[in-house]
Amino acid sequence: MINPIIKQTLLLLLLTFIVICIVGVLLYSNAYGKSSDDYLRELSQEEQKLAREAIEKYLGPDARPHYVKGDYKIDKNDLVSDDIVVVKGTIVIEGEVDGDVLVLFGDAELDSNATVDGDVIAIEGKIWTEKGAYISGDVVEESYGNSTATSRDEDERIERRQERQKHRKVDYGREDFEKNHEPFWFDYNRVDGITLGYRLPSQRWWNRNRHNFAIIGKLGYSFSSKRTQYQIGLERWIFEEFPFSLGIEFHDLTETEDRWIINDDENLLAALLIKEDFRDYYGKEGYSIFAKQQLNPYLSLKGEYRNDKFHNLEKKTNWSVFGKGKDFRENPLAIPYFPAAGENNQGFLGSRLELQTLAGTMTLDNRNDREDPTRGWYVKAFYERSGFELASDLDFERFILDVRRYQPLGWDENLDLRLRAGTSSGILPPMYWFDLGGLSTIRGSRFKELTGDHFLLANAEYRLRTRDGDWFILDGFDIILFLDAGYAWFENDYKAEDLMFLRPDYRSYKTPALFANGSFDNLTLDSLHSSAGIALATEDGDFRVNFAKRIDGMSRDLVVTVRLSRPF
């Protein structure tokens, strides 16, 4: 018989997913069908006619490009997987574009690090390229019927464009693309202090440079914890169109489960400058063997065997540039503590937890931009199994699902939706417990005020772009209305003393009332913690201020947060 909580959770997941699908279907044709008119409506009739002819000629009659009004910049290490049309502005490319770039009545500037896997066309404008910039297709400057290009054979150009579109986004390493793949490794957190080291480029770099393998690696030293961290491995792939790969890697690293809440750069700056470390950490030493398969341009599968030893990490530093009078949070225990294992409070079986697990990941990603998406789906499902039959110290399963939809409602509006949920069975080690509250989750709640071995989270953001209007101090900012709802709970019949048994430090970080046994008997809509608010953000999302407030009656406090990245 299915547990009532599981039934309600599955029902909520199903209903939310259906709503997301219905919204996408209802708005799909309308948003895409009128997007070009919205962007071109301020042009003169002659300019509109020329623009439509250029779009059909260079992108094709069925093109659905990403439109931009005014100046636009693609930063170094950013990737845009879409055709781009810039209307009356200058596009500056320092990163990568997997598609064609068409500038209408403006210029294109390509930095020495720029890569465009397609054509670059300027209508009534100029194209400037620095030495080192790479363009796989044609470079075309056209002025009312007079054009110059690297290839003047129209049939040949169209054929090349169709071939590129056929294989577009089948770019191995897409899911593993890291924004930070500079060789210098610098980090700062409360358990390691400063970490300095060297890291090799991501898998994407190796593929872009026509290699059929990637060397995985980084090496650094953490000064406060006085330990060396490393990762070394090799991945080899075959087949060009839809690659299959095998790999192995060895590691001894400080790890966290909180990357989905805050990225590396933002957490580094928060810890270094204002003495706020928003992640919890554990030590991980071992190896993994994995296989990956790209099934189509957007869908990939990954299977892994993991063999790791885990250990707790303590806070080792309390320094930051600012934040005098504040203290870093203590780092919670990561592994279960059973007194029978030792009297020195070191954790399970002395000081380490050994797990041999099987894991699988399915990723669907057709977003038009990894850093600042405005259109597309992102779906990621992760499953991991640890069992005594695998010689693990604990028997458990965990499953995490992340579904996101980025839906344009017009050239200046967007609706972004996310549903994230997690479930587990057996004794889930505390390092894998699910935390909700605060940053990127329920923004009107206290940070990580909810914890459990199950969780459900839904977020919605309605984005208005105002940079082309006369909004006084708001000019140049996006206005975002958001709504959050979620809950985390323990399915098993835990009592407070049971949770203390699994993690003795638990009561220090959580409000005991939130973990009362009765709170987990029945999950209902009334159980959900919810908040709503408004945010002001730069167009690229690299800076935003959130004003959030609980709407479930549990608190009247206004929560203000400053972020350097989008929540999802």
Stretch 69-75: mean pLDDT, rounded?
88
In this structure, is residue 345 part of a structural domain? no
Stretch 435-439: mean pLDDT, rounded?
95
Query: Considering the chain, what is the average pLDDT of its residues?
Result: 83
Q: Is the pLDDT of residue 35 over 60?
A: no
The reported pLDDT for the residue numbered 471 is: 59
DSSP-assigned letters across all residues of 433-468: -EEESSTTS-TTSPTT-EEESEEEEEEEEEEEE-TT
The reported pLDDT for the residue numbered 346 is: 47
Which domain range does residue 203 map to? 174-331
Strand runs (DSSP E) across 60-209, as ranges?
Answer: 66-69, 72-74, 79-80, 84-87, 91-93, 96-97, 101-104, 108-110, 115-116, 120-123, 127-129, 134-135, 139-143, 146-149, 184-189, 193-199
Count of domains forming the chain: 3
The reported pLDDT for the residue numbered 499 is: 65
Count of helix runs (H) and strand runs (E) in the chain: 7, 32
Element containing residue 305 per DSSP (H, E): strand 299-311
pLDDT band at 554 (very low <50, low <70, confident <90, very high): confident
70-84, 176-190, 234-248: least confidently modelled range: 176-190
Helix, coil or strand: residue 416: strand
Same domain, 183 and 239: yes
Percent of all residues in the chain with a pLDDT value above 90, rounded to a whole number: 54
In this structure, is residue 477 part of a structural domain? yes
C-alpha 207: how far from chain center? 21
Same domain, 504 and 554: yes
The reported pLDDT for the residue numbered 1 is: 44
The string of pLDDT tens digits covering residues 114-147 is 999 899 999 999 999 998 899 988 999 998 655 5
Tokens of 447: 């940070």
The string of pLDDT tens digits covering residues 53-70 is 899 889 888 788 888 888
In this structure, is residue 473 part of a structural domain? yes
In this structure, is residue 546 part of a structural domain? yes
Tokens of 80: 């845009």
Neighbours of 509 (CB within 10 A): 15
In this structure, is residue 336 part of a structural domain? no
Distance CA 198, CA 476 (A): 38
Same domain, 119 and 243: no
Stretch 496-520: mean pLDDT, rounded?
51
Q: Is the pLDDT of residue 173 over 50?
A: no
> Letter for the amino acid at 523?
L
Instruction: Using the 3D structure, point to which of 280, 297, 331 is the last residue of a domain.
Output: 331
The reported pLDDT for the residue numbered 93 is: 95
Q: Is the pLDDT of residue 445 over 90?
A: yes
Angle made by CA atoms 78, 442, 478, in degrees to the nearest 5: 45
In this structure, is residue 506 part of a structural domain? yes
The string of pLDDT tens digits covering residues 335-371 is 887 654 444 444 454 478 999 999 999 999 999 888 8
The reported pLDDT for the residue numbered 412 is: 83
Same domain, 157 and 187: no
Percent of all residues in the chain with a pLDDT value above 70, rounded to a whole number: 77
Tokens of 442: 């329920």
In this structure, is residue 34 part of a structural domain? no
Same domain, 439 and 487: yes
Same domain, 189 and 159: no
Q: Cβ neighbours of residue 364 under 8 Å, at least 6 residues apart?
A: 298, 299, 377, 378, 379, 380
The DSSP bridge pattern shows strands 450-452 and 477-489 to be: unpaired
Same domain, 559 and 477: yes
Same domain, 423 and 532: yes
Instruction: Using the 3D structure, point to which of 145, 167, 189 is the last residue of a domain.
Output: 167
Instruction: Using the 3D structure, point to which of 106, 134, 167 is the last residue of a domain.
Output: 167
In this structure, is residue 24 part of a structural domain? no
Same domain, 502 and 534: yes
Query: Which CATH number is 437's domain given?
Result: 2.40.160.50
73-87, 300-314, 414-428: least confidently modelled range: 73-87
Same domain, 321 and 370: no
Same domain, 132 and 220: no
Same domain, 392 and 527: yes
